[in-house]
Amino acid sequence: MTSAADPAAAGDRRNASDVSGVIVLAACAIWSLVTAGAHDGRPEGVLLAILAVAAGYASGRILGALLPVAAPCAGALAGLGLAVTAPHTTPGPQITSPLGHSGATAALLILSAGAACCAAWAARPLVLRFTLRLLAAGIVVTAAVLESTTGVVLCTGVLLCSLAAARMRRRALGLAGLALATALVTGTSWAIAENVLPDGLTAALEGPLTQHRILLWRDALHLAREYPALGAGPGRYGELGPTVTQSLLPDGKPHSAPLQQAAEQGVIGVALLAAVFCCVLYALWRTRRPTPIALTAGAALTALAVVASVGNALSFTTVTAGAGLLAGFATSRPLSDEVPELIIDTDGVPPATAFSRDAGD
């Protein structure tokens, strides 16, 4: 337990989360080079994604400290603009839903909704806070106009989680629930690829997922079993997966980030991907920002992880950079004081005390 008058301990917690994040990202970069050297792979895509996350996170920390309301609001508007225009400006095959660019569109809308909700919690005037929540609701409507069912469902979930976060006094429980949800979706996709679910459940999920996607997942598992330690090498799934080579519009991806890591970088690659997500949740747990902001960002990043588990959203630099930017907003330390009423006190505990206890448990 840490008191509000113990800034040194709070700084140590922030430093620990930052150092752990740097170590994990560095390990991801090094491991991609190792696996590429072992099997003549192409690590450029992985390295670009790592660079985008790091740059986005650093930018979010700086901008969030200087402009705690305006920066996430601008980020939400930028993400919304990219989501509307990206399907028409991104080079490459325009694979239709549920594969291809639709996953990136949904991911950008999710991150935009999360940024808008974080800006709303950081705003002081009630009118501005209400306006920013209207922006988040408008993003849900935009997802419907773009015919992104995934975007509608998950953006709505982020908005509802943000509103519910006002009553959550101990963020650890909320973040643990988000981690469990991510593990459940990832495990389900893995079980579908392994064909170990009951036939009725598999048949029900096969419709929205499509048989083509499931075949891509099974190819990835086959490669993971063939190269369990080092994987087949970054960027080599498209060369070795039979389903990809037989596709009319191949993009060389298995459309599942965990399965792609397993196929191309082995079990250690999967562990590193999970470690990145855990480091983000750890940073949100330790941040001195109010609990509603931390949980809102956590909900948006969890929704992104869900999309990435069943799609290729992380293959787009705008998405990985946006994820880092949102995490940076939520873990920044604004130069001005936070609004005390952001913390909802249900047990008669003064807001500052409630926040200190929550952030330090």
Residue range(s) defining the domain that contains residue 350: 7-360
Please tell me the predicted confidence (pLDDT) of residue 257.
94
Please tell me the predicted confidence (pLDDT) of residue 253.
83
Instruction: Give a yes or no: residue 289 inside a domain.
Output: yes
For Cα atoms 332, 317, 156, give the angle at the middle one, nearest 5 degrees: 65
Please name the residues in contact with 182: beta carbons below 8 A apart, sequence gap of 6 or more: 277, 302, 305, 306, 309
> How far is it, in rounded angstroms, from Cα 328 to Cα 317?
16
What percent of the chain lies above the pLDDT cut of 90? 63
Note the pLDDT tens digit of each residue in 187-209. Answer: 999 999 998 888 888 888 888 88
With CA atoms as reference, report the closest residue to 322 among 11, 7, 81, 5: 81
- Confidence tier at 252 by pLDDT (50, 70, 90): confident
pLDDT(56) > 50: yes
Instruction: Give a yes or no: residue 161 inside a domain.
Output: yes
What percent of the chain lies above the pLDDT cut of 70? 82
The number of distinct structural domains making up the chain is 1
Q: Which of 23-32, 35-44, 116-125, 267-276 has the lowest mean pLDDT?
A: 35-44
Instruction: Give a yes or no: residue 251 inside a domain.
Output: yes
The helices-and-strands tally (H runs, E runs) of the chain is 15, 0
Total residue count of the chain as it appears in this document: 361
Instruction: Give a yes or no: residue 338 inside a domain.
Output: yes
Contact 257, 309 (CB under 8 A): yes
Note the pLDDT tens digit of each residue in 122-172. Answer: 999 999 999 999 999 999 999 999 988 899 999 999 999 999 998 888 899
Q: What is the mean pLDDT of the chain?
A: 85
Please tell me the predicted confidence (pLDDT) of residue 92.
44
Instruction: Give a yes or no: residue 2 inside a domain.
Output: no
Q: Which of 17-26, 31-40, 222-231, 251-260 has the lowest mean pLDDT?
A: 251-260
Please tell me the predicted confidence (pLDDT) of residue 127.
96
pLDDT(213) > 50: yes
Instruction: Give a yes or no: residue 206 inside a domain.
Output: yes
pLDDT(361) > 90: no
- What's this model's pTM, rounded to 2 decimal places? 0.87
Q: Which of 196-200, 242-246, 355-359 has the lowest mean pLDDT?
A: 355-359
Q: How far is CA 89 from CA 81, 216, 317, in A?
A: 12, 26, 14
Please tell me the predicted confidence (pLDDT) of residue 208.
83
> How far is it, in rounded angstroms, from Cα 354 to Cα 275?
29
- Confidence tier at 78 by pLDDT (50, 70, 90): very high
Please tell me the predicted confidence (pLDDT) of residue 250.
60
Note the pLDDT tens digit of each residue in 321-350. Answer: 999 999 999 999 888 765 443 443 333 333
Instruction: Give a yes or no: residue 204 inside a domain.
Output: yes
Instruction: Give a yes or no: residue 1 inside a domain.
Output: no
Please tell me the predicted confidence (pLDDT) of residue 310.
92
Q: Residue range 110-124: average pLDDT?
A: 96
Rg (CA), the chain: 20
Please tell me the predicted confidence (pLDDT) of residue 110.
97
Please tell me the predicted confidence (pLDDT) of residue 173.
94
